Amino acid sequence: MIPAAFEYARASSVEEAAKLLNKYGEDAKVLAGGHSLIPLMRLRLAQPKALVDINGIKGLDHIKAEGSKLHIGALTRHVTIQNSAVVKDKLPILAEVAGEIGDNQVRNMGTIGGVVAHADAAGDYPTIALMLDAEIVTNQRTIAAKDFFKDLFTTPLAADEIVIEVVFPVANGPHKYIKFRRRLFDWAIVGAAAQKMNGGWRIGLTNVGPTPVRATAVEEALHKGAKPEEAAQHASDGLNPSGDLRASPEYKKHLARVLTKRAIEQAK
């Protein structure tokens, strides 16, 4: 299928991109990896009037460890994160998550900034960002992950606001992300992440609601000394996932518990 016509502009700097977005207004979209946007455009479910291509902006694909922080440029492709020695050293769970997104072709194009800005409930990075208290840095401000993923496909980004980088804390203790899906390249039906950090656990869930979820009840139970199996029973506390063709709400809640247990047990 064929996308509707649009105007196209290449930005060579963040400032230029912002200017272009300002010019085109609400109907403009940022084009990064394009792997969420272009299929929607081909189905004509998205018909932006203009695309601002930010792929040519230099210096947005950095991976830098600074002190206790890991800075990842918005245009960093999944494949780069997956293979990065720095990420593997400082935040190995993120490299593993990157390696589980889509397929080789998708990972060669898709960017972390694109996934974060798209705010799909089935996105994997948002879960990690949320549970680790990452920060999303834009051309205008810095937004805490907990304030960023507001609703399905909904973020506080203004029309001319562009994600510049995502800043994670360094965490290289035991960790595990389990992405439960039918086929290797599918989106998560449910995902569960466990990361040991600062002596405690961080637990995150993917695709169990309109936004990523941090399972604080599980974290607290673990903190109080509960066994993984007991603590994981709280993974579905307060969840109200919507059902879809792949899973009923009840099954998603069940998976949240089972996968959380397994993620904690398998973390290393």
Partner 1 sequence: MAVTTMVGAKIHRREDPKLITGHGSYVDDMQLTGMVHMAVVRSAQAHAKIVSVDLTAASKAPGVVAVYTARDFKKVISGGLPVTESLIADKKQTPNQFPIAESEAVYFGEPIAVVLAESRYQAADCAELVQVEYESLPVLVDFEKALEKGSPTAHTGAPDNVAWDVNFNGGDLEAAFKESEVTVKERIIQQRVFPISMEPRAVLANYVPFGNQLTVWTSSQVPHFIRLFLCIGLGMPESQIRVVAPDVGGGFGSKLRPYPEEYLAAAASKLSGRPVKWIEGRTENLQATSHGRGHIFDIEVGAKRDGTLLALKITMLSDLGAYIGVFGALQSSLAMLLSPGCYKWKAVHGRAIGVLTNKMSTDPYRGAGRPEAAHLVERAVDLVAQELKLDPADVRAKNFAEDFPFTSILGMVYDSGEYQKSLDKAKEIVGYKALRQKQADLRKQGKYLGIGLSTYVEICGVGPSAATAHVSGSLALVESSVVRVHPTGSVTVAVGTHSHGQGHATTFAQIAADALGLPYANIEIREGDTGDTPFGYGSYGSRSLPVGGVSINRSCQKVVDKAKKIAAHMLEAADEDVVFDQGQFYVKGSPDKRKAMGEVAFAAYGPGLPEGMEQGLEAVTYFDPPNFTWPFGAHICVVEVDPETGEVDIQKYVAVDDCGNIINPMIVDGQIHGGVAQGIGQALFEEAVHDPETGALRTGTLLDYSIPGIGEIPNLQLDRTITPSPTNELGVKGVGEAGTIAASAAVINAIVDALSPFGIKHVDMPASPDRLWKQIKQAREHSNGGKEARK
Partner 2 sequence: MKHKVATTVNGHKHEHEVEPRLLLVHYLRDVVGLTGTHIGCDTSQCGSCTILVDGKAVKSCTMFAVQAEGRQLTTIEGMAKDGELHPLQQAFWDEHGLQCGYCTPGFIMAAAYLLDQNPNPTEDEIRKGLEGNLCRCTGYVNIVKSVQSAAKAMDGAKAKTSERSAAVGRS
Which residue ranges make up the site for partner 1 (CB under 8 A)? 1-2, 4-5, 39, 43-44, 180, 182-186, 189, 245-248, 251, 254-255, 258
Q: Using an 8 Å Cβ cutoff, are 65 and 85 in contact?
A: no
The arrangement of strands across the sheet holding 63-66 comes to 63-66, 69-73, 163-169, 135-138, 142-144
Is 162 strand, coil or helix?
coil
For partner 2, the binding residue among 27, 140, 185, 244 (CB under 8 A) is 185
By beta-carbon proximity to partner 2, the closer residue of 69 and 181 is 181
Q: Among the candidate windows 4-12, 112-120, 191-199, 246-254, which touches partner 2 by CB under 8 A?
A: 4-12
Which of partner 1, partner 2, none lies near 8, with the C-beta cut-off 5 to 8 A by kind? partner 2
Q: Which is nearer to partner 1, 137 or 258 (CB)?
A: 258
Residues 20-49 that bind partner 2 (CB under 8 A): 31, 34-35, 38-39, 41-43
Point out which span in 106-114, 120-128, 129-137, 188-196 binds partner 2 (CB under 8 A). Answer: 106-114
Tell me how far apart the alpha carbons of residues 138 and 74 are, in angstroms, rounded to a whole number: 9
Phi then psi for residue 179, to 5 deg, are -105, 105
Q: CB of residue 215 vs partner 1: minimum separation in angstroms?
A: 18
Phi and psi, residue 7, nearest 5°: -90, 150
Q: Residue 12 corresponds to which tokens in the numbers above?
A: 């060579």
Q: Where does residue 226 rank: exposed (0-12), middle (13-18), buried (19+ CB within 10 A)?
A: middle
Residues 178, 180, 183, 188, CA torsion sign: negative
When asked if residue 244 is in the footprint of partner 2 (CB under 8 A), the reply is no
3-class DSSP assignment, residue 87 = helix
In the complex with partner 1, the residue whose CB is nearer, 27 or 147, is 27
Say how many residues make up the chain: 268
CB of 74 or CB of 188, closer to partner 1: 188
Q: Using the rule CB under 8 A, which residue among 65, 106, 170, 226 binds partner 2?
A: 106
| Interface positions with partner 2 (CB under 8 A) | 1-8, 10, 31, 34-35, 38-39, 41-43, 51, 53, 55, 79, 102-106, 108-109, 183-185
